[in-house]
Amino acid sequence: MRNDAPLVGVLAMQGAFAEHQRALEASGARTRLVKDLEDLEGLDALVLPGGESTTMTMLMERVGLLEPLRDAISRGLPTLATCAGMIVLARDVTGGIEGQRGMGLLDIAVRRNGYGRQIDSFEADLEVAGLGGKTFPGVFIRSPLLESTGSAEVVATHEGRAVAVRQGSILALCFHPELTSDRRLHQELVRMAGVGRS
């Protein structure tokens, strides 16, 4: 791994962070698991993985990471948010625990587990704007449902519903790219990280 490769942090409170780390390293990035405030220092980009959004938020609050993370993303840190990560960044969240709110950094409304339970998981070929070439294999597992996208740009849909959005330096997905062998979305984050450094 080149020493000048972008350094991408992967939030490691819980969830599928190890799979994201492997995908990023295969995409040419250096990686760091983010577990506390010090781990945010010097990052060129960030991944908020899938998992359980309420647990992730509570753990971030407990270690004093929630507000610094929110501040870093709001200042333009390139961020890939998948599944629960999308919920964490959302303006409005329904179907969560009483009083659950997102960070409000992404102008979307989401419904937790809007695509159903684990048994309702599915895969679909998606046309993702900007990736070019073949379709992307979308893996949907207890995925959030995008109910409105506000000012966020829709970059992929499934059966007429938005499943991926981009807003500023945030790319947010209802599905799990880390569970496929297709690295194009992780490569896009690495590209965004490189642009931010230049």
CATH code for the domain in which residue 39 is found: 3.40.50.880
Identify the active-site residue in 20, 158, 176, 186. Answer: 176
Answer whether residue 1 is part of any domain. Answer: no
Residue 14's pLDDT band (cuts 50, 70, 90): confident
Query: Is residue 174 annotated as part of the catalytic site, yes or no?
Result: no
Answer whether residue 53 is part of any domain. Answer: yes
Identify the active-site residue in 83, 158, 174, 188. Answer: 83
Identify the active-site residue in 20, 174, 178, 186. Answer: 178
Query: Is residue 83 annotated as part of the catalytic site, yes or no?
Result: yes
pLDDT in tens, 19-28: 999 999 999 9
Give Cα separations from 167 to 10, 50, 119 (angstroms).
Answer: 19, 19, 31
Question: Which residues constitute the domain of residue 171?
Answer: 7-197
pLDDT in tens, 34-71: 999 999 999 999 999 988 888 888 889 899 999 999 99
Answer whether residue 18 is part of any domain. Answer: yes
Answer whether residue 148 is part of any domain. Answer: yes
pLDDT in tens, 144-178: 999 999 999 999 999 999 999 999 999 999 999 99
Backbone angles phi, psi at 20, to 5 degrees: -65, -40
Answer whether residue 20 is part of any domain. Answer: yes
Answer whether residue 2 is part of any domain. Answer: no
Answer whether residue 27 is part of any domain. Answer: yes
Q: Are the C-beta atoms of 53 and 19 separated by less than 8 Å? A: no
Predicted confidence at residue 54, as pLDDT, reads 83
Answer whether residue 30 is part of any domain. Answer: yes
- Among residues 34, 35, 25, 33, the alpha carbon closest in space to that of 5 is found at 25
In total, how many domains does the chain have?
A: 1
